[in-house]
A and B are shown apart, each in its own frame.
Chain A
C-alpha cells in the first residue's frame, strides 16, 4: 500500500482504534475472542434459558489456563498482563455474555485482588495459585439485604474470641457465592470494617442461590449466611481497615466493566448491522432507510467513543495515574450507553429482537444488572458530582 492511500474503512472499527493496540494486545484479544467463540457462544443461549451453566467449573479452569483469572496481578501464578490487556479480555468475554465476564471480574478483580493487595504472604500463597488456575473459585461479600449502596452501615460483624475471629451476618446478591471455595467477606469489627478470607467449608458458612432472576442468568448469584463462623487470627486481611478496602477492590472491578460493557454493546451492534443489511421491508433492506441509518450511526459513535474512553482509562491505569472518579466516569458512561445501544439494536431486530435466537435481548437484560452492581449509575453520578462541586450529596 502506498503511503498516501487512505486505510480501509472497517465498519467494525470505524475509527481505526486497533492502531492503539500493540502485537501483544492483539494476541491477547484474539485468544479470548477465540476461546469465547468456541466455548461460550455455542452454548450461552441455552445456559441463559436454563438459568444455569453446568460446565462452569470446567470453564473456570480453562480461563485459568489462559491466564484470565487475576490477569493484571503479578506473581503467585497470575499472568501479569497490562491493564489494557485485561480490559480487552473483559470486552471479549462480555461480548459473549456479561455472566462470564462477571465470573472473571469477581474472581480476579474482587476476590483475588483483595487477597493480593491486602493479604499476608501466607494468605496469598494459600489462595492465589489455585484461584489463578481456576481450581478454586472466589466470591466477594459486601452487599447485605438492608445495605447496598451504603455499605458503611453493614450489620455483618466479627468479634474476637481469644486469638480467633467469630463472624456472623448475611450477605446477598453475591456472584459465584455457591460455587466458591473461598469468600472474601467484609464485616464490622471494633477497629472498623475489615476483610476476612473465609474457606466456604468452615462450619457455620452456607450459600443459597437466588432464583427468579431475569438478568445475568448465566451467572450464579447467592445469599451467604455466616452463623458464628470461627476463623483463625490470620484469616483477617492485615493490609487495610475501613471501607477504603472494599471500595478499592470495587474500583478495580469497575475498570473491567468500563471495557466489558462495550463488548455487550458491540455484540448487539454487530447483530443489528447484519440484520439491517439483510432484512427487507417495503422492498429493500431496512438499513437503507434513513431512520435505521440514524440509529446505526449513533450507535457506532457511542460504541467507539466508549472503547476510546476505556482505552484512555487503561493507559492511565498502566501508568499508575487512574483516579477512582475517572473510573466512575467510565462506568457511568459506558454501561449507560451500552444499555442504550442494546435497546436500540433490539428495535432494529423487530420481533426477532426479543428472541433468544439473537444475542440482543440477553445482553440488554444482562446490562440491567451491570448498571446496578459495582455502584449504581446514581452512585457514580454522586461521586462525579462531589468531585466537580466539592459538595457531598450522598446523605
Chain B
C-alpha cells in the first residue's frame, strides 16, 4: 500500500522541504515504571504518580534512538518534547544524555488529568511553536496504552501519519516506512513534514554514555506553560477531558489453570480450548 503525499510543506516547518539537515522533534512521555505497583488516587481516580518511580516510556526510547539515527544520517537536529509535571525533567535529561540536542517541557498544573485529546492539543501547540520537518513518537505509552496520541496529533497538525513503523527512510523530501501489520508489513510513503510512530522492532536504543550524561546538563531545556502556548485551561486537564474514569476494580487474582491430560484426545482438547477463546 502506498499512501500518496496528501499535503504539502506547511508554514510551521522551519525549513523548505527537501533540505537537509532535518529538524526532528521526538515526543516523549514519562510513565510509572512498569515494574512498580500502581494505584489510583481515591479523590479523582487518576494515577498516583508520586507514589511510583517514573521512567521514560519504553517505546519512546526507540523513538529517540530513531530520531538520533536519522539526525546522524542527515546532519539534523533532535528536539525532545515532553508534556508532564516537573519530575518529567528526569526523562528529558535521559533523552538529552542519549544525544538529543535540546528539549521543550510543557508544565502546567492545569494539565493534570489530561486525556489523549487534550494531550494531543498541547503537543500540537508546542510543535507549532518550535517547528519541525518530522515528528517521531512511540506507538504506545505503557501506562494508559491508548495509542491515540500519534493519530490525534497528526490530525491536529494536518500531517500525514505513518504509524507502527519498523523501519524509516528519508531523503529529506519524502519519508518511507515499513508499517508493521498482523500479516507482515506495508510500505507507506509520504512527503515531509510528516509524523511517524515507531514499534520496538525498529532499532536497539543506545545506552546513554558517560560523556552524554555529563553533556546533558548543559543542553538547553525550554519550559512552557499553557499561556505560552495560548491554550485555555478549560481545554485541557481533567476539565477538558472527553473521557473520565468512573470506577475501577483491581484485577482478580489469576484463576487456576485448566489441566489437559493427554489420553489420546489431548490435541483436540487443546484446539477446542483455544478455539473457545477465539485464539485460533
Contact = CB atoms under 8 A, between A and B. Distances in A.
17 contacts: A1-B50, A23-B90, A24-B214, A24-B217, A27-B93, A27-B94, A27-B97, A27-B208, A28-B210, A31-B207, A31-B208, A31-B210, A65-B209, A66-B209, A79-B209, A79-B211, A79-B214
B5 interface: no
Interface in A83-140: 85
Q: How large is the interface on A (under 10, 10 to 19, 20 to 34, 35 or more residues)?
A: 10 to 19
Contacts of B187: none
B54 interface: no
B209 A31 contact: yes
A31 B50 contact: no
Interface of B: 50-51, 90, 93-94, 97, 207-211, 213-214, 216-217
A42 to B, nearest CB: 15
A79 B207 contact: no
A67 B210 contact: yes
Contacts of A1: 50-51
Report the 4 A-B pairs with minimum CB-CB distance, sorted nearest first: A67-B210, A79-B210, A27-B213, A31-B207
Nearest to B210: A67
Given A24-B214, A31-B213, 6 more contacts: A1-B50, A1-B51, A31-B207, A35-B207, A68-B210, A79-B210
A276 B50 CA distance: 30
Contacts of A67: 209-211
A31 B209 CA distance: 7
Nearest to B93: A23
Given A1-B50, A24-B217, A71 B210 contact: yes
A68 B209 CA distance: 9
Contact of A28 (B50, B213, B217): B213
A57 B217 CA distance: 32
Nearest to A82: B214
A257 B94 CA distance: 28
Nearest to A77: B211
A31 B50 CA distance: 24
A34 interface: yes
A223 B214 CA distance: 39
B207 A81 contact: no
B207 A34 contact: yes
A66 B212 CA distance: 9
Interface in A4-42: 23-24, 27-28, 30-31, 34-35
B214 A81 contact: yes
Interface core residue of B50, B93, B207 (most chain A CB under 10 Å): B207
Interface string A48-69: 0000000000000000011110
A24 B212 CA distance: 10
Nearest to B208: A31
Nearest to A26: B90
A71 B213 CA distance: 13
Contact of A66 (B50, B210, B214, B217): B210
Nearest to B94: A27
Contacts of A79: 209-211, 214
A34 B213 CA distance: 15
Contacts of A24: 213-214, 217
Contacts of B216: 27
Nearest to A81: B210
Contacts of B213: 24, 27-28, 31
| Most chain A CB inside 10 Å of its own CB: which residue of B51, B210, B213, B217 | B210
Contacts of A85: 210
A35 B207 CA distance: 7
A67 B215 CA distance: 13
A189 to B, nearest CB: 37
Contacts of A242: none
Contacts of B210: 28, 31, 66-68, 71, 79, 81, 85
B57 to A, nearest CB: 16
A66 B207 contact: yes
Nearest to A39: B207
Contacts of A66: 207, 209-210
Contacts of B208: 27, 30-31
A30 B90 CA distance: 13
A181 interface: no
A169 interface: no
A27 B210 CA distance: 8
Nearest to B213: A27
Contacts of A71: 210
Contacts of B207: 31, 34-35, 66
Contacts of A234: none
A80 interface: yes
A354 B209 CA distance: 36
A243 B40 CA distance: 64
A78 B208 CA distance: 15
B82 to A, nearest CB: 16
Contacts of A28: 210, 213
Interface centre among A1, A27, A65, A81 (most CB of B within 10 A): A27
Contacts of B217: 24
Contacts of B93: 23, 27
Nearest to A33: B207
A123 B211 CA distance: 23
A301 B182 CA distance: 53
A284 to B, nearest CB: 20
Nearest to B90: A23
A24 B90 CA distance: 10
A67 B207 CA distance: 11
Contacts of A65: 209
A174 B51 CA distance: 49
Contacts of A23: 90, 93
B207 to A, nearest CB: 5
Nearest to B217: A24
A28 B211 CA distance: 10
